[in-house]
Amino acid sequence: MANFFSDNKDLQFHLQHPAMRKIVELKERGFAEKDLYDYAPQNFDDAMDSYRRVLEIAGEVCGEVIAPNAEGVDHEGPRVVNDHVEYASGTVQNMKAIVDAGLSGLTLPRKYDGLNFPLVCFVMANEMVARADAGFENIWGLQDCAETLNEFASEEIKQKFLPWVSAGATCAMDLTEPDAGSDLGAVMLKATWSEEKQTWLLNGVKRFITNGDGDVSLVLARTEEGTADARGLSMLVYDKRDGGVKVRRIENKLGIKGSPTCELVFTNAPAQLVGDRKMGLIKYVMSLMNAARLGIGAQSVGTCEAAYREALKYAHERAQFGKPIIRFAAISEMLSNMKAKLQGARALLYETTRFVEIYKQYTHISHERSLEAEERQEMKFYTRLADGFTPLVKLFSSEYANQLAYDAIQIHGGSGFMKDYPCERIYRDARIMNIYEGTSQLQVVAAINAVTKGTFMEQIERYAADTYSECMQPVVAKLKELTAKFAEMVERVESGDKEKPGFKDFHARRLVETAGHIIITYLLARQAGECEDYINSARIFVKLAEGKISEAYTYVMNSSFDDVDLFKAVEQEC
């Protein structure tokens, strides 16, 4: 019986983090619901026991249903039938298993039939689903849209939609259009208020919409006639049962083929306003995107896990020159690096998830009562960390998913290039992860403030002040050296940007990645103190970090201001 939770010690380790006590207390509001619902936890241990049991169910569904279906779904794909999406047969089976297992509405409050689980558990389930089938993760993971409704919508809308999501309704976020991709301020889909029908009516086209024919859609639309920028956009919720949206086509993609990417035509589709007008992009989409980025972080880590396991298995099985290829230094080095990156990305994923979780819970609590001064301060503290770490985890994990998928094929050799092994699907699926929900380049833009405003450095100093086990001392000493280099780089780039505008943008990625390498190494070093399984990965990752940071350091410190123009010269080419 394949179980993607029971077979993954690293995942189980992260569930045991000491911060879980605080997270569970916050999420359960001091176990206020223990006598109101027969499935609510009585105390911390009871809650943790329930999380483990439910994650084991999720692990079993992933291992026994979703993973075996992945190849068939990849081949069959979804179709458009009578203007609507028909999922591949394996996807239908996956959905049924998910609904039967009650794995919808994982984080939603119990009053909307949710499980009221912490985000950490959702991210873990997300990661396992992605390991089983990255494309299906999109369909399942989009239930996270309901969190945006839970945070910003009226009680009436919540009552209508949230229990439906808990019962298995699928979601979509309808943001992008043919002329509005990364630049969402250019969205043109029109929302007009109909006095006669007492509803908003949506008209226009959306493109590249994941699971576009989902039951519940959050639609970014222009409610303010005559505007052309972000300030005229609002968020609306559309109920598929009301009709008015046709699927014009499903994109033919390189990977995640089971996930229908739709072009949608809205014709007087009725919709309800979520929250306040004009706040659609500025507030709600930003919240949605942050959650989605964490989701892609989880999807990427799940993909890393799948790639690493496929590569490891093949390296043991395949013999050449009279021995399994894992016994060749070139292969074992690749696998060691893959494992360190996988565990490093996962460490960053759950560190970030905990930051997001704590500030989100304070946000919810602040809607119920006013926060104490100390709580307000804590909320601010974790919000700042979450804002910096979210793009960092999206950047690193999605790039690693691609690197690991690439290496997995390399280890398979010629066989990996054939359609016979899962690694070719993993490779195709991974390719979108550093593109959608904001490209890696945009994650750098989102994260660079955390470099220049000191968020990353302050957190690195907090990590440095922790105590580390004896065997991690050389790693920590190296990290201190690398941190000094990072400070030099930041100093040079910041002062340089004053003299030559564009100098910071030019080096932004090198700075963000340097911060990330240091942070990930600290996280692994900390874990190595608690569990010896991480000692090797910490030692290996610090080598990767040193190599990468030395390269970035050399580049930045030797870079003259002319470089900005040097790399702009290509603009004149045609």
Partner 1 sequence: MKNQLKIVVLAKQVPDTRNVGKDAMTPEGTVNRAALPAIFNPEDLNALEMALSLKDRVEGATVHILTMGPQRAADIIRDAMFRGADGGYLLSGREFAGSDTLATSYALSCALRKIGPDIIIAGRQAIDGDTAQVGPQVAEKLALPQVTYAEEIVEIKDASLVIKRRLSSGTEVVECPVPAVVTVNASAPECRPRNAKRVMKFKCALAGSEIAAAPDSEAARRAVAKPYLQIVEFAAADVDPDPQQLGLSGSPTKVKKIENVVFQAKEAKRLTAADEDINSLMVELIASHTLG
Nearer to partner 1, 46 or 378 (CB): 46
Q: Mask of contacts with partner 1, 115-134, x by CB under 8 A?
A: x-------------------
Q: 344 and 537 in contact (C-beta within 8 Å)?
A: yes
Contact range with partner 1 by CB under 8 A, out of 55-63, 241-249, 332-340, 461-469: 55-63
Nearer to partner 1, 101 or 205 (CB): 101
The C-alpha atoms of residue 165 and residue 148 are separated, in whole angstroms, by: 12
Q: What residue type is 409 in one-letter code? A: I
Residue 470 found at the interface with partner 1 (CB under 8 A): no
Q: What residue type is 240 in one-letter code? A: K
Q: 334 and 37 in contact (C-beta within 8 Å)?
A: no
Contact range with partner 1 by CB under 8 A, out of 52-60, 378-386, 422-430, 558-566: 52-60
Which H or E element spans position 265? strand 261-274
Residue 7 found at the interface with partner 1 (CB under 8 A): no
The length of the chain in residues reads 574
Joined tokens for residue 554 = 């050399």
Joined tokens for residue 312 = 């490891």
Joined tokens for residue 307 = 């790639």
Q: 60-96 as b/e, with b when 16 or more CB fall inside 10 Å?
A: bbbbbbbbebbeebbebbbebeeeebbbbebbebbbe
Nearer to partner 1, 136 or 362 (CB): 136
Q: Closest distance between partner 1 and the C-beta of residue 91, in Å? A: 17
Reference 219, options 190, 262, 185, 199; nearest CA is 190
Q: Which parts of 123-182 interact with partner 1 (CB under 8 A)?
A: none
The C-alpha atoms of residue 148 and residue 457 are separated, in whole angstroms, by: 31
Residue 2 found at the interface with partner 1 (CB under 8 A): no
| Sequence-ordered list of residues with C-beta below 8 angstroms from that of 104, at least 6 positions apart, any chain | 98, 143, 165, 166, 167, 168, 169
Size of the site for partner 1 (CB under 8 A): 20
Q: Mask of contacts with partner 1, 29-48, x by CB under 8 A?
A: ---------xxxxx---x--
Q: Which of 10, 60, 174, 357 binds partner 1 (CB under 8 A)?
A: 60
In this structure, the strands spanning 84-86 and 79-81 are antiparallel
Residue 66 found at the interface with partner 1 (CB under 8 A): no
Contact range with partner 1 by CB under 8 A, out of 8-16, 71-79, 100-108, 463-471: 100-108
Q: Which of 53, 75, 197, 453 binds partner 1 (CB under 8 A)?
A: 53
Q: Closest distance between partner 1 and the C-beta of residue 23, in Å? A: 18
| Other CB atoms within 10 A of residue 3 CB | 18
Nearer to partner 1, 39 or 567 (CB): 39
**What would the 3-class secondary structure string for 532-567 be?**
HHHHHHHHHHHHHHHHHHHHHHHHHHCCCCHHHHHC
Q: 456 and 444 in contact (C-beta within 8 Å)?
A: no
Reference 22, options 51, 50, 44; nearest CA is 44
Nearer to partner 1, 121 or 556 (CB): 121
Q: 216 and 144 in contact (C-beta within 8 Å)?
A: no
Nearer to partner 1, 170 or 337 (CB): 170
Contact range with partner 1 by CB under 8 A, out of 94-102, 177-185, 285-293, 394-402: 94-102
To which residue do tokens 């992860």 refer? 433
The C-alpha atoms of residue 548 and residue 383 are separated, in whole angstroms, by: 29
Residue 76 found at the interface with partner 1 (CB under 8 A): no
Nearer to partner 1, 68 or 270 (CB): 68
Nearer to partner 1, 125 or 405 (CB): 125
Beta-strand runs (E) in 39-141:
79-81, 84-86
Q: Closest distance between partner 1 and the C-beta of residue 160, in Å? A: 21
Q: What is the phi/psi pair of residue 187, to 5°?
A: -55, 135
Q: Which of 20, 23, 54, 379 binds partner 1 (CB under 8 A)?
A: 54
Nearer to partner 1, 7 or 333 (CB): 7
Look up residue 214 and give its DSSP letter: -
Q: Closest distance between partner 1 and the C-beta of residue 3, in Å? A: 11
Q: Mask of contacts with partner 1, 476-495, x by CB under 8 A?
A: --------------------
Q: Closest distance between partner 1 and the C-beta of residue 422, in Å? A: 23
Nearer to partner 1, 42 or 554 (CB): 42
The C-alpha atoms of residue 11 and residue 340 are separated, in whole angstroms, by: 14
Nearer to partner 1, 97 or 405 (CB): 97
Reference 431, options 340, 548, 541, 299; nearest CA is 299
Residue 103 found at the interface with partner 1 (CB under 8 A): yes
Q: Closest distance between partner 1 and the C-beta of residue 115, in Å? A: 6
Q: Which of 7, 49, 242, 420 binds partner 1 (CB under 8 A)?
A: 49
Nearer to partner 1, 100 or 179 (CB): 100
Nearer to partner 1, 41 or 141 (CB): 41
Reference 130, options 354, 297, 357, 377; nearest CA is 297
Q: Closest distance between partner 1 and the C-beta of residue 47, in Å? A: 9
Instruction: Give residues in contact with partner 1 (CB under 8 A).
Output: 38-42, 46, 49-50, 53-54, 57, 60-61, 65, 97, 100-103, 115
